[in-house]
Amino acid sequence: MAKITLDNLAHSYLPNPTSEDDFALKELNHDWDDGAAYALLGASGCGKSTLLNIISGLLHPSQGRILFDGKDVTHAPTAERNIAQVFQFPVVYDTMTVHDNLAFPLRNRGRDEAYVAQRVQEIAKMIGMEDMLRKKARGLTADAKQKISLGRGMVRKDVNALLFDEPLTVIDPHMKWELRTQLKKLHHDFGHTMIYVTHDQTEALTFADKVVVMYDGRVVQIGTPEELFEQPEHTFVGYFIGSPGMNVLPAQVEGTTARVGSQTLQLAGGYKPSSGKVEIGVRPEFAKLSQTEGLPVSIRRIEDVGRHKIIRATFEGHDINIIAGEDDRVSADMNRVSFDPGHVNVYVNDWRIAPDRSQSVGEAA
Amino acid sequence: MEKTVNQKAWFLVLPVLILVAFSAVIPLMTVVNYSVQDTFGNNQFFWAGLEWFEEMLNDDRMWDALGRQLMFSGIILLIQIPLGVFVALNMPKKGFWASFCLVFMSLPLLIPWNVVGTIWQVFGRVDIGLLGHTLAALGIDYNYTNDPFAAWVTIIVMDVWHWTSLVALLAYAGLQSIPDAYYQAAKIDQASRWKVFRFIELPKMMGVLMIAILLRFMDSFMIYTEPFVVTGGGPGSTTTLLSIDLVKMALGQFDLGPAAAFSIMYFLVILLISWVFYTVMTNLDKREG
C-alpha cells in the first residue's frame, strides 16, 4: 500500500498540445492518502478514465510526475507498479478455473505452489467464492466474474492500490448493492487504497470517504459527500450531485443581498462586488414553499417520487426545483418560495466564492 | 398458448423445397441413378445394383487418391492454420497499414482459381518461370513435371499462397473483437506474451478458427482446378487428388457408373468428416464451458 502523489500531472492525446483545450486531463496536483477510499466522479469523457490509466501505467502522461510513496514511477511499466485494476467489463481468463484465475498473477511472478494455494484460499474466502474454485470461469455470471477480477487484484500482498473503472456497469441492479457493500467491507477490513471511477453519484457517495469530482478534464472539487452537498465549489458539482441538482440562478450580489430579476434574497454573509458571471446556487432541499412567506413563484408540476415531492416551478423566469417532504401538503395557492440563507452559495464564473469576512454576517443565518 | 393448425402453411415452405430440389436433390439423384446402372451407349441403361460401389471399394485407384487427398488436406491445414494465426497476430491493429494489409492480403482470394493455377504453372517452369529458373540457377534440382516431390511442394505452396489469407483474415477478425481491457489486465497480472496468446487470444479466436478449419478442410478436400492446371495430376498419378481422379474417370474414360458411385462416396466422406470435425469441436467447446 502506498500514498500516491500526482505532481503537475497533465495529459493530452494529441502529440503537440498547444492550448489548454487540447488536454484531456488538465494540470493536477493531488495526494491520494494511503488506505483511503476515493471515488472519481464525473460525466462520460471528463478525463476520469484517463487519470486512472495514468495511475495504473497503461498510459504515460504528457507532463508531470506520479509518485508512489515518494518514488517516481511516471515511466515505470504497469507490472512494476503493483496496481490492481477492475475494468468495466469483467476480465476473466475463460478457459481457466476460478482457482487458476486467482492464482494467475502469483504464478506469473514465480511464487511457489504451496503459497499460491494458501493465498487463493484466503482470497476466495474474502470474495465468498470458496465453493466455486473448481468451476471454469467461462460459465459464471457477470457479478461472479467481476468478483474474480477483484480477487485477482487482491491476491498479491504487495498491491499498492486497487483501481476500479466503473466496475458495476454490467451488473444487475440488485447485485450492485451487494457488491458495493462487499467492496466497502473489504476496504474496511483490509485497508487497501482504493480509487473508484464512476459516473453514478449514488455509487460514489456511498463508497468513498472522499469524492473527487471531475469536469472537462479538471478536478473541480475533492471532498466528503457532505462537503459536496453543502458547499459545492463549482456549479457543475452542484448540478451533478443531488437529485435534482442545485438551482443555479443568475444574480447581482451586493453586500448581503442578491438580486434575481426583480426580487431580492438575503445571503448569510457579505460579498464584495465582483466582475464576471455571477450566480447564486441553492439546493432544492433548502428551498421552501409556502402560502405567505417568501418570494412569488409559480408551480408548473409536482412529482411524487415516494420519499419526497419534487416541485418544478418558475421563479423570475427561471426553472427551479423545490423539494418538499412526503407528508408536506402542497396546494395550488402556495405561490411563495423562501431560500435558507445559510445554504445559498455565490458563484463567480462557475466557482464558489466565500463571503467576505470584513463585511457583517447577515442576521438570517 | 393454443397452436393454430393450418395445413396451408405447407405452401409457404414450397419455394424453398423447389429451390433445394433443383439445386441439390435432383442433380444428386441423377448421380444416384447413374451409380446403379450400366450403359453401352445409345442411351440404353441396365440395372447394375451395387456393382459399381463394390468395384470402386475394391479398386486401389480410389484408395490411393483418397490417401493423397487426406495427405494434401492434412498438410495444408497444418501449415495454413498456424501461419494464418501468426500473420494475424503480427498485423497492425489500426490505421492506414491495417487497411493496407487487409486489402493486400485479400488479393489472392480474388483471383479466379484457374488463373492461380496458371500463375504457378508458369512461375514454376524451369525454362521461363521466375521461381523454377531461379531454383535451377541456384543448382537446386527442381522440376515439377517429372519429380513428384517438387510437384507436391508446388501445389502445397500454391495453396498456402492462395488461402492462408482467408485464415489470417478470420483470425484477425477474432483478435479485433478482444476488448483492450483484457490486454491491460494481462499487463497488470504480468502475463508473458505466450500466456497472453494461450489464455486470451487463442480462446477468443477459437470460434473463428473452428470455421476456418472447417472451410479450409472442405475446400481443400474438393480442390480440382489449381493442381489440375499446374500438374494435371502428374507426374504419373502422384498428384491425382480425388476430384482430379473423378473427372478423369467420368469425362476422360466416360465410365459413368463407377464415377457416379465414386461421387456419392466422395460426397459421403466429406459429409462424414465435416460432421465429425464439427461435433468434436463443439463438444470441446462445451466441455470447456
Q: A319 and A210, same structural domain?
A: no
Give the distance from CA B106 to its chain's centroid.
17
Q: A229 and A290, same structural domain?
A: no
d(CA A194, CA A210): 11
- A365 lies in some domain: no
Q: pLDDT-derived band of residue A365, with 50, 70 and 90 as boundaries?
A: very low
CB-closest option in B179, B190, B288 to A95: B288
- Based on the number of CB atoms within 10 Å of its own CB, is B1 exposed (0-12), middle (13-18) or buried (19 or more)? exposed
Residue A135: per-residue pLDDT: 85
Chain B residue at shortest CA distance from A82: B188
Which residue type occupies B92?
P
CB-closest option in A89, A95, A136 to B181: A89
d(CA A93, CA A290): 60
pTM: 0.76
Contact residues, chain B to chain A, C-beta under 8 Å: 179, 181-182, 184-185, 187-192, 195, 199-200, 203-204, 288-289
Say whether B181 and A139 touch across the interface (CB within 8 A).
no
Residue A159: per-residue pLDDT: 84
> Which residues in chain A (135-194) have CB-CB distances under 8 A to chain B?
136, 138-139, 149, 152-153
Which residues in chain B have their CB less than 8 angstroms from residue A104's CB? 189, 191, 199
Domain boundaries, position A264? 248-353
Task: Convert the pLDDT of each residue in B13-24 to its tens digit.
Answer: 999 999 999 998
Q: A317 and A235, same structural domain?
A: no
d(CA B173, CA B207): 11
Choose from A16-25, A39-48, A93-102, B274-283 the range with maximum mean pLDDT: A93-102
Residue B155: per-residue pLDDT: 92
CATH number for the domain including A312?
2.40.50.140
Above 80 in pLDDT, residue A364?
Answer: no
Which residues in chain B have their CB less than 8 angstroms from residue A84's CB? 188
- B259 lies in some domain: yes
Q: A149 and A203, same structural domain?
A: yes
- For chain A, the domain total comes to 2
Say whether A95 and B179 touch across the interface (CB within 8 A).
no
Q: pLDDT-derived band of residue B286, with 50, 70 and 90 as boundaries?
A: low
Among the listed residues A204, A197, A239, the one whose alpha carbon sits nearest the alpha carbon of residue A223: A204
User: Which residue has better confidence, B215 or A360?
Assistant: B215
Above 50 in pLDDT, residue A92?
Answer: yes
Say whether A78 and B288 touch across the interface (CB within 8 A).
no
Tell me what the pLDDT averaged over chain B comes to. Answer: 87
> Rounded to the nearest 10 degrees, how much is the dihedral formed by the CA atoms of A144, A192, A162, A138?
-20
Residue B173: per-residue pLDDT: 92
CATH number for the domain including B84?
1.10.3720.10
Choose from A168-182, A328-342, B206-220 the range with maximum mean pLDDT: B206-220
* Mean pLDDT in residue range A137-166: 86
- B52 lies in some domain: no
Residue A74 near residue A5 (C-beta atoms within 8 A): no
Task: Convert the pLDDT of each residue in B165-222 to its tens digit.
Answer: 999 999 999 999 898 889 988 888 888 899 999 999 998 888 889 889 988 998 898 8
Task: Convert the pLDDT of each residue in B99-155 to its tens digit.
Answer: 999 999 899 999 998 899 999 989 988 888 898 888 888 888 888 888 889 899 999
Say whether B203 and A94 touch across the interface (CB within 8 A).
yes
Task: Say which residue the cell 464512476 belongs to.
Answer: A198
Task: Convert the pLDDT of each residue in B70-97 to its tens digit.
Answer: 999 999 999 999 999 999 999 988 889 9
d(CA A82, CA B190): 10
Give the distance from CA A339 to its chain's centroid.
27
* Mutation choice for A interface testing from B190, B193, B284, B285 by most A CBs within 10 A: B190
3-state helix vs strand vs coil in chain B, percent to 5: 75, 0, 20
Q: pLDDT-derived band of residue A1, with 50, 70 and 90 as boundaries?
A: low
Q: A173 and A296, same structural domain?
A: no
- Examine the fold and report which residue of A240, A258, A276 is the final residue of a domain before the chain moves on: A240
- Examine the fold and report which residue of A240, A272, A288 is the final residue of a domain before the chain moves on: A240
CB-closest option in B184, B199, B204 to A58: B184
Above 60 in pLDDT, residue A363?
Answer: no
- B124 lies in some domain: yes
Q: A312 and A227, same structural domain?
A: no
Q: A78 and A29, same structural domain?
A: yes
* Mean pLDDT in residue range A295-308: 86
Q: What is the 3-state secondary structure (H, E, C) of A285-310?
A: HHEEEECCCCEECEEEEEEECCCEEE
Residue A289 near residue A322 (C-beta atoms within 8 A): yes
- A52 lies in some domain: yes
Grid cell in block for residue A249: 440562478
Q: Which residues have a Cβ under 8 Å from the Cβ of A17 and sit 6 or more positions away?
A: A23, A62
Number of Cβ atoms within 10 Å of the Cβ of B106: 13
Q: pLDDT-derived band of residue B287, with 50, 70 and 90 as boundaries?
A: low
Tell me what the pLDDT averaged over chain A comes to. Answer: 85
- A364 lies in some domain: no
Domain boundaries, position B195? 59-288
Angstroms from A338 CA to nearest CA on chain B: 51
- Examine the fold and report which residue of A185, A209, A240 is the final residue of a domain before the chain moves on: A240
* Mutation choice for B interface testing from A83, A95, A162 by most B CBs within 10 A: A95
- A363 lies in some domain: no
Which residues in chain A have their CB less than 8 angstroms from residue B187's CB? 58, 77-79
- B22 lies in some domain: no
- A116 lies in some domain: yes
- For chain B, the domain total comes to 1
Residue B289: per-residue pLDDT: 45
Above 70 in pLDDT, residue A3?
Answer: yes
Above 90 in pLDDT, residue A21?
Answer: no
Question: Looking at A168-172, B127-131, B171-175, B268-272, which range is the least confident one?
Answer: A168-172
- A121 lies in some domain: yes
Grid cell in block for residue B86: 501468426
- A231 lies in some domain: yes
d(CA B63, CA B59): 7
Chain B residue at shortest CA distance from A104: B189
Q: A231 and A95, same structural domain?
A: yes
CATH number for the domain including A134?
3.40.50.300
Number of Cβ atoms within 10 Å of the Cβ of A241: 22
d(CA B90, CA B197): 12
Q: Which residues have a Cβ under 8 Å from the Cβ of A225 and sit 6 or more positions away?
A: A205, A208, A211
Q: Does A351 touch chain B (CB under 8 A)?
A: no
